[in-house]
A and B are shown apart, each in its own frame.
Chain A
Amino acid sequence: MTDVTQLLEAAHRGDQQAAAKLLPLVYEELRNLAAARMSSEKPGQTLQATALVHEAYLKLCGDRSFNDRQHFFRVAAEAMRQILIDRARRRQRIQHGGDHQRVGLSEVASIAETTPDDMLALDEALTRFTEFDPQKAELVKLRYFAGLPEQDAADALGISRATASRYWKFARAWLIQAMESGS
């Protein structure tokens, strides 16, 4: 746990390697937390990415300064993104390969559910968007993958809420266009 706080402090000082080392730790913690919560889930309750991220933060860092918290969210957003992308890849493999009995009942999925293809297309578009405009891409990760409300996401990036709102609109349009054009 001290690992995490030290790495966070280093990352905050601008140490790139520290941020890179932080990611797998946060990734692991989020997965464990999520699995633990799932098994004790009450009927009808949904799992909130935001809640998970906050919980992971408390567990890993305790009561740290605000700056650390903001930095942590950005790392956590990236970790959440990786968790979901890994899963989307796995699902896509299951859907496209193997000749065993498949989906069936479990495919009674939500039609509005984001498909693995959607998820991967989004990820790809986001990667390109990161090159184009890293700050807005960061905002998308915070809002979409970590589920942060607009104000929290704005705080994490050190911008005003109005700016975040404007950024989001633009990023959203850019990404939808990129996903739909597929190239």
Chain B
Amino acid sequence: MHNSSSQVESLFAAAAELSAESRKAFLDRECAGQEALRRQLDGLLRAHDRVDHPLDRPVAGHNELEATCLSDAQSVGTLIAGRYKLLEQIGDGGMGTVWMAEQKEPVRRLVAVKLIKAGMDSKAVLARFEAERQALALMDHPNIAKVHDAGTDDAGRPFFVMELVKGLPLTEYCDARKLFVNERLDLFVQICSAVQHAHQKAIIHRDLKPSNVLVTEHDGRPVPKVIDFGLAKAINSSQMLTDRTLHTAFGTVVGTPLYMAPEQVGINALDVDTRTDIYALGVILYELLTGTTPLEKARFKVAAWEEVKRLIREEDPPRPSTRLSSDKTLPSLAACRQVDASKLPSLVRGDLDWIVMKALDKDRSRRYETANGLAKDVQRYLKGDAVEACPPTLAYRLQKACRKHRVAILTIGAFAGVLLISTVLSLTFGIRAHHAEMKARQETEAASFLLDTFLGTNDEHEELTVGNVPFTTVVDRAVKQLDRDTERLPLTVARIRARIGRAYAILGKYPKARQQIQPALEVLMDELGPNNLETLNCQESLVWVRESWDEKTEAILLDVLERRRKVQGPDHPDTIRTLSAVAWMRFMNNDMVKADSLLRDALQLAVAGHGDDSVIAIRCKMRLAAFIARKGKHDECMRLAQEAMASGQKLPSDDPYRLFLKYGANKYAKPATGTSEDNRRVAEQDVALLPEFKDVFGEDDPRTLVLLDDITLHYAQGKWFDEAEPYSKTLLEKRTQLFERDDRGRLRALWLRGLTLLGLKKIAEAKELFNEAIPLARSKREHIILGTTLVGLGECLLLEENYAEAEPKLASGYEMIRSYFKNEGFSAHRLNHVREVLDDLVAVSEKLGKSEAAEHWRKEKERLEQF
């Protein structure tokens, strides 16, 4: 299967020189039909495009070599400063080595000795250490490892002597012992108390991180010990925390910026205070909960220092629960915490999210004032009390109070009821708040209650089911209420409008949807910023309701995609969904190649990140199956549909998507040759599903209508016009009655009904429908519908013997259909269709006495037969 290596090499060399654009064209040309070769080259070129790989930093001059030599230079048995005998090397890194050593005098004991590598300004290091020595000596806390001594060895290198702690670094310990989230939080509280103690003695650690917290066990209880107090300042303050020294000769950066607070990388990098440690504690807590640091290590590895600094200063990390939900390794993270993978994100969501995010605030004045404050809030969470960090909404406090006092939460059916009860309870619980602020918060909560109840949550993944409730009425009423009510906060109104807009969009009421979404988006942008998830969701929903799916629409979608990648990460389900939406846009604009490759990317991300059985993977598969079906590649299409179907079996039995999936899988799960019988088979399977659809989704639901559409389409394609008749009728009625006149679904209904009536030779009615469909199809750029509708109209005119008018319709319809199929590939069914159109054209030309034209169409038909 391997291609000759010289071929690979020469193609690689040529392609590596090209820009991304021309590279693709080059490879398409050179590797046509050689998939293995193409894959090989794509892999190599991707690797080629990587920047700043370890391979690009030859060992020459980087720390690796120095540390190698340093660790070689000391050896077991060496006596440092006449008192410490090195016994065993227990740590090693870029700054030096750590040894277990035996202290000879004044007391015999085992200690840890840190030898700093040569090349530092030893005098300055020691001077800084001496300055803090008094304070360090005053520290006496069970969770702090003592620093005993410091000095220089015979070669003039600084060393530090510390209490020897036998333990594991914090995160490793927690994972090795599989500590529950609560046990981790207990440890964290102890760490906070150690840091608090140091802060009271005016000592800032400056380099808190899990590897500086070792966990030992006393009587079976884990005891964390913070090590290296005072060292970071001695070594770092000039060596590390300024730009100059951060860059070594080869541009490598010294330090672990993963735990650095924004102020540590600011212009005045030395301006650190106790709140810098609070930030690092926030990072540690984040890592204890999620297994990763807020700014991911992988990103730092590939970023230049300037970029790293920018990330630390500017980038808002995702909340811990968000990070968890999007983490591929969630099952193993959850296993380390002995929780169910599905429960971990929700365990962290809310209180713990808020605590962590408060500690991590870029603005230090908004962080916890003290380590104690942070510890207290964690303890509040552990006890089930309201935490200080949360947005102090009334409903939140009520919820906490109810849970704590085990008050049964009643199902409250009415909006007004909630307001009334919350007012009463707020008096009862004596919660004081500024009046206006309180009112605003009440409203937000109440509004989201209303929204969640009547309009579904803001979660794009959730299937909205309304059964037979007149949904439109509910939405219209909500709008009226909103327009009447002028006292609400702009943000609340925007949130409600965004959801109402989404509901209208589902109903196909696009202009109404736009009226709601557009102003909502402006407010969300202003109040929450462009990277907020609500803003992103709102902006994406705007895309689907724009007048046309033009370049501008696609640009908006791409913009959303870009920000989702940044904010939510490239393999978050939302991001993948947006990516597949971009594919859909490409598809609508007839760029099948791009659509196909984007969708495959999306599928790959979905499977890699969330597994074959995730809803997002299933959706991507079904969408891809639909794409491929249009190209006539039935094998792959079937495989995808079957896979999706199998995964769908694992969805909860009441998940409405299961039903929808059944419909999709019906279409693709069996080989279809496009014969009339095939079409009838699919139509009949769909008919069998119809009662269930009506039952679960409701008669007027868009999904039920899609099923009707599909039934009609397959009957009509198979020329089972009598069977198609009742379905096409209902479909058009519903679409006209429920949806906007320019809805795409209605266009299809017009088209399908027209084709059915034409098949039944009801010419006048068919013509009317076709005439209505044509301008609509043109404005929607629905080329295939436009083409077939023109042909349909032409055939009507032909049957009416109006040849002069029939000819141009047929000819332009033919051109459209042909170029569409040429792009997408011909199938037997399509060929048949085109043949029929050409026969019509020959007939009409002859009737008009245009023998040349007739000859042209005949030739065209011959050419076609060669396919």
Kindly list chain B residues whose C-beta atoms are within 8 Å of the C-beta of A41. Answer: 118-119
With contact pairs A110-B252, A177-B43 given, residues A47 and B91 touching in the complex (Cβ less than 8 Å): no
Give the number of residues in A that approach B within 8 Å (Cβ atoms). Answer: 63
Do residues A109 and B167 form an inter-chain contact, with CB atoms below 8 A?
A: no
Kindly list chain B residues whose C-beta atoms are within 8 Å of the C-beta of A173. Answer: 12, 16, 44-45, 47-48
> Looking across the interface, which residue of chain B has its beta carbon closest to that of A98?
B90
Do residues A49 and B59 form an inter-chain contact, with CB atoms below 8 A?
A: yes
Kindly list chain A residues whose C-beta atoms are within 8 Å of the C-beta of B12. Answer: 169-170, 173
A72-110: contact bitstring with B at CB < 8 Å (1 yes, 0 no)?
Answer: 000000001001100100110010001111111111111
With contact pairs A104-B211, A122-B54, A122-B55 given, residues A47 and B69 touching in the complex (Cβ less than 8 Å): yes
In the bound complex, CA of A66 to CA of B813 (Å):
78
With contact pairs A34-B72, A47-B65, A99-B166 given, residues A105 and B55 touching in the complex (Cβ less than 8 Å): no
Kindly list chain B residues whose C-beta atoms are within 8 Å of the C-beta of A46. Answer: 61-62, 66, 119, 248-250
In the bound complex, CA of A104 to CA of B162 (Å):
11
Kindly list chain B residues whose C-beta atoms are within 8 Å of the C-beta of A48. Answer: 60-61
Do residues A145 and B44 form an inter-chain contact, with CB atoms below 8 A?
A: no
Do residues A176 and B47 form an inter-chain contact, with CB atoms below 8 A?
A: yes
The answer to whether the Cβ of A63 comes within 8 Å of any Cβ in the partner chain is: no
Give the number of residues in B that approach A within 8 Å (Cβ atoms). Answer: 87
The answer to whether the Cβ of B235 comes within 8 Å of any Cβ in the partner chain is: yes
**Which of B253-261, B283-291, B368-376 interfaces with chain A?**
B253-261
A92 CB to nearest B CB, Å? 10
B153 CB to nearest A CB, Å? 10
**Which of B96-104, B417-425, B593-601 interfaces with chain A?**
B96-104
B144 CB to nearest A CB, Å? 13
Do residues A35 and B72 form an inter-chain contact, with CB atoms below 8 A?
A: yes
Do residues A109 and B55 form an inter-chain contact, with CB atoms below 8 A?
A: no
The answer to whether the Cβ of A151 comes within 8 Å of any Cβ in the partner chain is: no
> Looking across the interface, which residue of chain B has its beta carbon closest to that of A106?
B93
Do residues B60 and A109 form an inter-chain contact, with CB atoms below 8 A?
A: no
Do residues B254 and A108 form an inter-chain contact, with CB atoms below 8 A?
A: yes
Do residues B54 and A39 form an inter-chain contact, with CB atoms below 8 A?
A: no
B10 CB to nearest A CB, Å? 10
Do residues A100 and B228 form an inter-chain contact, with CB atoms below 8 A?
A: no
Do residues B248 and A174 form an inter-chain contact, with CB atoms below 8 A?
A: no
Do residues B90 and A101 form an inter-chain contact, with CB atoms below 8 A?
A: yes
Do residues A108 and B240 form an inter-chain contact, with CB atoms below 8 A?
A: yes
Do residues B60 and A49 form an inter-chain contact, with CB atoms below 8 A?
A: yes
Do residues B66 and A38 form an inter-chain contact, with CB atoms below 8 A?
A: yes
Do residues B254 and A101 form an inter-chain contact, with CB atoms below 8 A?
A: no
In the bound complex, CA of A115 to CA of B5 (Å):
31
A109-152: contact bitstring with B at CB < 8 Å (1 yes, 0 no)?
Answer: 11111100011001000000000110000001001111100000
The answer to whether the Cβ of B842 comes within 8 Å of any Cβ in the partner chain is: no
> Looking across the interface, which residue of chain B has its beta carbon closest to that of A34?
B69
Do residues B57 and A169 form an inter-chain contact, with CB atoms below 8 A?
A: no
Kindly list chain A residues whose C-beta atoms are within 8 Å of the C-beta of B256. Answer: 107-109, 111
> Looking across the interface, which residue of chain A has its beta carbon closest to that of B16?
A169
| Contact partner, A104, options B63, B91, B121, B258, Cβ 8 Å | B91
The answer to whether the Cβ of A12 comes within 8 Å of any Cβ in the partner chain is: no
With contact pairs A105-B114, A144-B59 given, residues A176 and B65 touching in the complex (Cβ less than 8 Å): no
The answer to whether the Cβ of A21 comes within 8 Å of any Cβ in the partner chain is: no
With contact pairs A94-B90, A170-B12 given, residues A106 and B58 touching in the complex (Cβ less than 8 Å): no
Kindly list chain B residues whose C-beta atoms are within 8 Å of the C-beta of A175. Answer: 47, 55
With contact pairs A107-B91, A108-B256 given, residues A47 and B66 touching in the complex (Cβ less than 8 Å): yes
Kindly list chain A residues whose C-beta atoms are within 8 Å of the C-beta of B43. Answer: 177, 181
With contact pairs A108-B240, A110-B254 given, residues A172 and B73 touching in the complex (Cβ less than 8 Å): no
The answer to whether the Cβ of B227 comes within 8 Å of any Cβ in the partner chain is: yes
A157-183: contact bitstring with B at CB < 8 Å (1 yes, 0 no)?
Answer: 000000000100110111111001100
Do residues A100 and B118 form an inter-chain contact, with CB atoms below 8 A?
A: no
Do residues B53 and A176 form an inter-chain contact, with CB atoms below 8 A?
A: yes
The answer to whether the Cβ of A45 comes within 8 Å of any Cβ in the partner chain is: yes
A38 CB to nearest B CB, Å? 4
Do residues A109 and B166 form an inter-chain contact, with CB atoms below 8 A?
A: no
Do residues B114 and A109 form an inter-chain contact, with CB atoms below 8 A?
A: no
A54 CB to nearest B CB, Å? 11
The answer to whether the Cβ of A14 comes within 8 Å of any Cβ in the partner chain is: no
The answer to whether the Cβ of B702 comes within 8 Å of any Cβ in the partner chain is: no
In the bound complex, CA of A41 to CA of B250 (Å):
18
B161-197: contact bitstring with A at CB < 8 Å (1 yes, 0 no)?
Answer: 0101111110000000000000000000000000000
Do residues B68 and A83 form an inter-chain contact, with CB atoms below 8 A?
A: yes
| Contact partner, B98, options A42, A104, A144, A169, Cβ 8 Å | A104
Within 8 A of A (CB), among B290-318: 300-301, 308
Do residues A87 and B211 form an inter-chain contact, with CB atoms below 8 A?
A: no
Do residues A143 and B63 form an inter-chain contact, with CB atoms below 8 A?
A: no
Do residues B47 and A174 form an inter-chain contact, with CB atoms below 8 A?
A: yes
Within 8 A of A (CB), among B70-120: 70-73, 88-98, 100, 112, 114, 118-120
Do residues B255 and A108 form an inter-chain contact, with CB atoms below 8 A?
A: yes
| Contact partner, A105, options B44, B48, B67, B95, Cβ 8 Å | B95
- 7 A-B pairs besides A102-B98, A110-B248, A147-B61 with CB distance below 8 A are A99-B166, A100-B88, A101-B90, A104-B211, A104-B228, A105-B235, A107-B93
Q: Jot down 25 A-B pairs with beta carbons below 8 A, ordered by A.
A: A39-B73, A45-B119, A46-B249, A87-B64, A102-B90, A102-B169, A103-B93, A104-B98, A105-B160, A105-B212, A105-B227, A105-B228, A105-B231, A106-B93, A108-B236, A110-B62, A112-B301, A113-B63, A114-B62, A122-B54, A143-B58, A147-B59, A170-B9, A172-B56, A177-B43
List of 7 A-B pairs having minimum Cβ-Cβ separation, nearest first: A147-B60, A109-B94, A49-B60, A176-B47, A106-B93, A34-B69, A177-B47
